[in-house]
Amino acid sequence: MDCKKLLSKFHWFVEGTAGIGVPEKFTYPFCYEPHPLCVRAAEEVKGYLAERKEWQEELQEGKMFGVLVVEDKRGEIGFLAAFSGLLAGRNVHDYFVPPIYDLQEPDGFFRAEEEEISGINERIGQLEGDGRLRKCRAEAERVRCEAERVLTEVKRRNAEAREVRRQRRAESPTEEEMAQMVRESQYEKAELRRLKQRWEEEVAGCLVEVERFTVQIQALKEERKRRSAALQRWLFERFDLLNARGGRKNLYKLFQETEGRMPPAGAGECAAPRLLQYAYLYGLRPVAMAEFWWGNSPSREIRRHGNYYPACQGKCGPILRYMLQGLNVEANPLEEEDGKSEQVEILYEDECLWVVNKPAGMLTVPGKSKRVSLWELLRRRLPEEEEPLVVHRLDMATSGVLVMAKTKEAHKDLQAQFKTHEVKKRYVALLEGVVTQDEGVIDLPLCLDPENRPYQIVNETYGKKAITRYQVTERRGNRTRISFYPLTGRTHQLRVHAAHPRGLNAPIVGDMLYGCPAGRLYLHAAEIEFRHPLTDKKIIIIKDADF
């Protein structure tokens, strides 16, 4: 063991840890509230970052950092720090643990092969921008346009000639005149075919040089694809991941075994895997871990300066699940029994539907966790052979008014009302921050972040239209009470529209995904209006929030 290297990365708590107990279990990294030791460690890292003036411009753009509280062999508590990706163009800095594999080694195979691939990119760019290629394409386009003009004119003249022949046939022509008209028609058709062939040959001649360039470019792109894939595999095989059991497995093999696919770009370069790898290498016992964002939010994701965030599932899920083997890890809080009363408040009920007040923390339908769902509770109220029919859903963390059908006819009618936006809903939320505008409309398209489920991101290209009308009802201190009127029904729509910098830039209080934990999510479905599927009468149900 290189003790000198270990000491340069192992940090003592400047203010000590008096009064802060060590957790019995290690942090569940995908859903957690940071342990006080992690908070104290993170504050020291934030202080260090604030002192590095030369990094401030880059840090302002945003980066994820992590801390790992560890215990050495003498039982002393300290912490390690790490960053994700590169910092100031480098993988290695004195204060932070090193990467699992340093792909920046100047004489390494990765850099050499990367330069070769960059050379292929340059050759592709040169060929695609070659003046001869542009000239040949322009000439082919000119000839094609001229051919279209000429052929269009010939077809017009032929059409006029056909009309003249049609009129002559109506005047009872002689057999000789009929034969002459047939010959004229055959000649015109044959001449048009010959003309088309001549122009096609001329266009093809112009495209010979274009095809030569195209073949070269395609061959280079195939070579680039093959070498890039080989380089990625080579790189991922260099990431030898350790775990607390003493196991060792490379990143490529891990993803093949668990996901059946190539690891995504950047896998293994996040802060959490770096921290655990370093601890295992130097015999340090992991105690608790947390990751926080520093700087501005990205344009698509929602990241707030200084907030703590769980590890992503796409890149880090398989990695951390392997690296944590052998540690006594906390249970996933979302899969634990919630201990809530198995009672649900019925706001309205008749022979074809229920309107209920779903508690915060209750699933709408059964999931993977042991938590009881609203669907299960309502099913107990029906005969054994029947079951509730889901019309719409609320997030587990959201409370409030929800409609469930008892019959297929009611279910079909209510779903049609939702599809045509006939149903009107009002939500009440408490936001962290002051919204200065009294009312307005948020229009930000949303889609799932495939590498970090269940997060939704703003994406102008692939996102589905998401529109929310809002109205501020109260401002109190640094918080805003607001009414939301969703005009579309996308997953996490209100949560993202509230938290995103291009939305209200004020996350809902207690939003563990897009803001900060606070006991519960302060979002409540307060009102719903729909047409009764049997009577066609307007039904309005209101249930005020309890916050």
- The set of catalytic residues is 395
The Cα 21–Cα 446 span in angstroms is: 42
* Most distant pair of Cα atoms in the chain: their distance: 119
Give 115: exposed, middle or buried? Use CB within 10 Å, 0-12, 13-18, 19+: exposed
Q: Residue 184: which H helix or E strand, with range?
A: helix 175-238
Buried residues in 452-475 as b, exposed as e (16+ CB within 10 A): beebbbbbeeebeebbbebebeeb
For residue 64, list its beta bridge partners: 293
Q: What is the rounded distance in angstroms from the CA atom of residue 26 to the CA atom of residue 4?
A: 27
Paired strand residues for 464: 446
Please state the three-class secondary structure of 453-505 as a single string. CCCEEECCCCCECCEEEEEEEEEECCEEEEEEEECCCCCCHHHHHHHCCCCCC
Cβ-based neighbours of 491, under 8 Å, separated by 6 or more: 446, 448, 454, 456
Task: Provide CB contacts within 8 A for 106, sequence distance 6+.
Answer: none
Contact status, residue 143 vs residue 199, Cβ threshold 8 Å: yes
Q: Is 177 helix (H, G, I), strand (E, B) or coil?
A: helix
DSSP 498-526: HHSTTTTS-PBTT-TTTS---SS--EEEE
Q: Which amino acid is at 432?
A: E
Helix (H, G, I), strand (E, B) or coil at 290: strand
